[in-house]
A and B are shown apart, each in its own frame.
Chain A
Amino acid sequence: MKIGDCMKRNIIFISSEATIREAASQMTACHIGLLPVVNRNRKLIGVIGLPDLLSLEMPAFFNLIADLDFVSDFGAAEFIRPTPEQIDLPVTTLMQPARSVSENSKMLHAYGLMLKHNLSDLPVVSENGQLVGIVSRVDIGTAILSSWDKIEASNP
């Protein structure tokens, strides 16, 4: 089985010309955690995820202190909101470089890639780099597991 067999083809994505604010409302409306960012030719140029957007709210100490177990309340930091200037910037300012696979990629390889890089969604691109689908860890994982049906029962 290939990625093309288990990926979602109706993809929610965002244009590289959109703002961070638009990305946030898109994510809220569709209840998703990752948006592929594409250019005018629908070529994948990056991804933007929940952590990238929420980094605008996270207090500085979050990244500075390894173990936060001694903190039970973020106090004033709980009320940090991004400024209008921050969220009206183009989405490309927070965008991360995308890892992607092709429709013909094998499943276990794609799953391994996600595991290694701690990704929960993986955009799928055509040969010329156009976004054609998206696949989640669950999509791939269950597709692989479904083949287990064909494993004969052992006879003790």
Chain B
Amino acid sequence: MNPFDVTKAVDYSDQELFYNWVDFPKKSFQEFIRPTLEMPMIIVGSKGSGKTHIMKHFSYNMQKIRSANTFDNILKEGYVGVYLRCSGLNGYRFSGRNETEETWNSVFAYYLDLWLSQLFLDVINNIFVINKDLKRYEDIVCNKILKLFSNNKEKITDIGELIDFLKFQQKNIDHAINNISLSSQDLSQSVEILSNPGDLIFEIPNIITSTIPELSNIKILFLLDEYENFSSGQQKYFNTLIRERRNPVCFKIGARRYGLKTTETLSADEHIKAGSEYELFDLDNIFRENYVEYKEFLRNICIKRIDNSQIKISTDITKYFNHSNVSSDFEIIKGKRLHVDKFITKLKKYKIKGINEIVKNIVCENVLIERLNIYIIYRGIKKNENLIEISNLLKEYSQQYANGYDVKMYDVILDKFKQDLLDALYRENGLKLTSYCGFENLVKISNGIPRHFLMIMKHIFRWNTFYENDFSTDTVSTEIQLLAIKDTVLWFMEDANKSDENTNYRYSIESICNFLRELRFSDLPPECSISTFEIKNVDFNLGLKKIITFLEQYSYIIKEDYGRRDKNSNVRNDMYQINGLLACWWELSISRRGIVKFSSDQLEKIFYYNRVEELKIMTTNELLKYNVPFRKGNNILELFD
């Protein structure tokens, strides 16, 4: 049994959700979400951020499990949670077929009211089962609720029958919608709307809490998950309900990043405003800004899942993951020394004088220092310096460093470029980059998206089983970690298989990552730890915005909080880091230090597949600046004889 087989909350039963629940350390999700808060809250987060898990935690089904089916304990929480997955409503059927948008919107509003009311009444019905004393109010409650429907002559005294009545109304709408495509009947002729928009959603809870004294202090919390499944028109209706919210009703709405398609309402096209009419809760930001707690959170999830699978492990989860073993890798590199061969080939190609002497001087026991010496020689070439002199100096420096003395020149470069030089060394010697391995790094790679981490863990356990390793006794090798990352990347990239006339998102992702990798592994990279880029906001255009929005929506790129101000215009530029999983796959840095600046035109060349020829020219010209012989544009620097 793989403890990480389930990576999505939807695949868990309520019992399993409860069983696997892990709270956020220090400040709990309860404190973040505040279920009885009157101001509506929109919870946004990337795919896999855990929105569903959190929202379901506040649903009535989970409240029942938490309170062991006791009425008093549910009451103590101060609310009952009515959970709705918006996709269950099949909102896609409310469009087209020559009906006006106005007709669809009004039918949808009534349909949603009926749907939510059925869900709520189902909860009430269940509460009546738990506390049979409350059944004495059933008759009066039903009577009051029926008055919300016009022309109603029904006599209903039982909540179950009332639900059937609502279901019957809903069925009439379904039937009418289906019949548009099978006959010539108009929707407006066949659907009779019996209540005012919002009345059922606000008034049924009001009737319940005002009629039943035991529930008088209870808030009715509607939890709408997957709000992105509603069309703009449908969201417009619900936004109106957000604006017009009345006690005892509260709303929590979960949506993907950019899932809130509009902030418009039906009230003369007015907008709902964050801060005053609803609170925006960004789950991604919480995870990314509280890195220490996030790491602890993932550690706790790991331990709980493994423990629930009857695998005994210690609480120090980090010790189960192998890190990059630099000393043994250096031994392999020493045996190959391919980085030196490549260096020599390059010097020969550009007919540098005194190659033998330079190479003899820069070679040393410590291969990292050897690679650093090569970097310094490249810098010398760029500055048109005397390379023999530099190499003599490097020979001295290498010896001093080997003897334990500080070498300022080395320290300054290593402070910024150590990881880049290490990765270059591995790459040039044909070794896989293992600097992404280890628990800490796997957490970092997940970029605040727990599902990414869980997916890696799932594949780690799969590969462990394949290699017949036991998690509790054998540490996970770097090879297995890299295989698991690879499998996760393949899954992650599936969502990018979308394209239209001008855009191919997969191409855009591959193209930006390829470009940044070329820069990172150039002879003198323009920045250290490349994986972040900046774009000038001033000349932003719609085409680019569409791609950037998509990439950010699916977390292929992560927007950095504040961006940077442009020195000249003082306008804040947008800054994005490549997602950790992609960074591993494309051998980019998973830390954010150096930032590569792009103009809109450059980014268009990178992102648009129909500008691939221009990109080739741009890449060649750009790389000329950072690779020996360091030409500027088409002008060759006269460094060589």
A binds B: no
Contact residues of B with A, CB < 8 Å? none
